Chain A
Amino acid sequence: MPRIDGPIAFRGGGFAPSDRTWAAVATLVGVVALWQAGASAGVIPTLFLPAPVSIARALWALTVSGELWKNLSVSLMRLAVGWIVGTVFGIGLGLAVGLWSVLRSPGMALVSALFPIPKIALVPLFIIWFGIGEGSKLVTLAFGVFFPTVIATAGGVDNVPRGLIRMGQSFGLSHTAIIRKIVLPAALPAILSGFRVTSSIAIVLLVAAEMIGAERGIGAFVLSAGNLYDTDNLLAGIVVLSVLGLLVSWVIGRLERALLGWR
């Protein structure tokens, strides 16, 4: 007869990852330090990949000369307007699709048909329709933001617990009050998750649209630097885009914390 005799070994650990901020910072610092060391030692050809110190110098020069702000301010304006327009219309249609049967099938059919089209491929068409000026760039951004927002919002509305809506109905709340006080707040986590996706899409489309037809903007600046083999400025522009992405993500994180604190 088999016997067991001894202390019981702990076997319930793991599968509970937690954030380590220091590890994230150390990784970034480590990568940059290695990169700098490689460039200084001549292992990395600086003509193709400039050293971090050279990129920092170029960034400083661009800031001091005002060139950075000239380009960045235009990009920020395009990003804000395009994203807001796409988001407002996307939330509107997403709610309509999520709430009304009449709009559900037609709306989702259109979204499903148009969402997979790479929006960058539409930029030339938008330039024909709206001209080479701001219109085509803003429409590209808004169009790119619109569809994921519709899908996120409609999904959020679909997942609102039906019991909460029934509760509102049983207390005689109006249709508008149910949407405003129950459906929208319940769908908000999904809508805000959608913001994370759409803000990244908006930055990608911003750069693409600015590269195809713009005199100013970070995308145009990066393209121009690339054409001149000015890799210091090219990577300085890319660093700005990376920081912009981080900044947008931070703003959305703050928004989530402010609006979803109840979680």
Chain B
Amino acid sequence: MTDGLRLTVDGVGHRYGGLQVLHGISLTAEPGEVMVLVGPSGCGKSTLLGIMGGMLAPSEGAVRCAGDVPPDCLNALTYVFQDFSLLPWRTVAGNVALVLEDRLSRTACAARVAEVLALTGLTDFATAWPRQLSGGMRQRVGIARALAVRPACLLLDEPLSALDAQTRDLLLEEFASLITAAGTTTVYVTHNLAEAVRLGHQIVVLSRRPGQVRDVVRVDRPLAERRAADPDLMALEQRLWRMIRDDAAVAERERIDASD
């Protein structure tokens, strides 16, 4: 077993008022592995991630985490958000420093900011405002901010879905490298199956609402050896799509009915 954090989801269910969105979810994200959650729209992927990160209290069940955290970890379970969640009144460096300021000395904070900006290729943009950056660059800042706290577990909520296709492909490769290098346990929510097969060690397929675990697919090939046009990965993507397709169509019809 690698050092790191194990996240165990035990019989988790959740309801918003009278609406049951998750039911009987039991999963384990192993230390250092990437768990990808996929499923049709509205199946509760982001809700489950919120519960796993302690941002939502489950209606049923519990989530436990156990294992080693990096010695200089400042926030064990750390999110990367779909909408970047950057403070527009802080520069790139300021946004990263936000999560370090009250916890590290001024010198240590500056050093760590410089380190993660270099790691994510943002050094030249340290003094830029978020409004001056493209979507891809903003998400890099989100990643830099997450890495700055030396997380034991990264929770990524559709981090690439707000980006254009080209930027998404470029960032996906960078994600794979950064996640491999950091070695943190990662839970990644996406509706994009290409991302799922590129990053996931275990891909959890959720059914339509109320979300339940339909299948868990393991991909043993190391992240560094996976390529976008890999026939095995493309076949797996097709297999995942076949699992989800019918549920996705029904979920879409339910959304249209609900909006009428």
The interface of chain A, by Cβ under 8 A from chain B, is 163-164, 166-174, 177, 181-182, 185-186, 188, 260, 262-263
Contact = CB atoms under 8 A, between A and B. Distances in A.
Contact of B74 (A166, A172, A182): A172
Contact of B85 (A163, A173, A177): A163
Interface string B91-121: 0000000110110000000000000000000
A174 B102 contact: yes
A111 B78 CA distance: 40
B88 to A, nearest CB: 6
A187 to B, nearest CB: 11
A185 B90 CA distance: 10
B55 A170 contact: yes
B102 A169 contact: no
Contacts, number: 48
A170 B101 CA distance: 15
Contact of B99 (A164, A173, A188): A173
19 contacts: A163-B83, A163-B85, A164-B85, A164-B87, A166-B55, A167-B81, A167-B85, A168-B98, A170-B75, A171-B75, A171-B78, A171-B79, A171-B99, A172-B74, A173-B98, A174-B102, A185-B89, A260-B89, A262-B89
A138 B175 CA distance: 60
B53 interface: yes
B72 to A, nearest CB: 14
Interface of B: 53, 55, 74-75, 77-79, 81, 83, 85, 87-90, 98-99, 101-102, 129, 131, 145, 149
Contacts of A185: 87, 89
A170 B78 contact: yes
Contacts of B98: 168, 171, 173, 181
A172 B75 contact: yes
A167 B79 contact: yes
A170 B155 CA distance: 10
A160 to B, nearest CB: 11
Nearest to A263: B88
B149 A171 contact: yes
A174 B98 CA distance: 12
B87 A170 contact: no
A169 B53 CA distance: 11
A174 B99 CA distance: 10
Centre residue among A168, A181, A186 by max chain B CB count within 10 A: A181
A186 B90 CA distance: 11
Centre residue among B53, B77, B83, B89 by max chain A CB count within 10 A: B89
Nearest to B151: A171
B89 A170 contact: no
A169 B55 contact: yes
Contacts of A172: 74-75
Centre residue among A168, A170, A174, A262 by max chain B CB count within 10 A: A170
A133 B85 CA distance: 52
Contacts of A169: 55
B87 A182 contact: yes
Contacts of A262: 88-90, 129, 131
A172 B149 CA distance: 10
Nearest to B91: A262
Contacts of A167: 79, 81, 85
A75 to B, nearest CB: 35
B130 to A, nearest CB: 8
Contacts of B79: 167, 170-171
Contacts of A163: 81, 83, 85
A193 B198 CA distance: 49
B87 A177 contact: no
Contacts of A164: 85, 87
Contacts of B83: 163
A188 B87 CA distance: 13
A180 to B, nearest CB: 10
A145 B9 CA distance: 53
Given A163-B85, A171-B98, A186-B87, 14 more contacts: A163-B81, A164-B85, A166-B85, A167-B79, A168-B98, A170-B78, A173-B99, A174-B102, A177-B102, A181-B87, A186-B89, A260-B89, A262-B89, A262-B90
A182 B85 CA distance: 11
Contacts of B53: 170
A70 B88 CA distance: 45
A167 B55 CA distance: 10
A110 B129 CA distance: 40
Contacts of B81: 163, 167
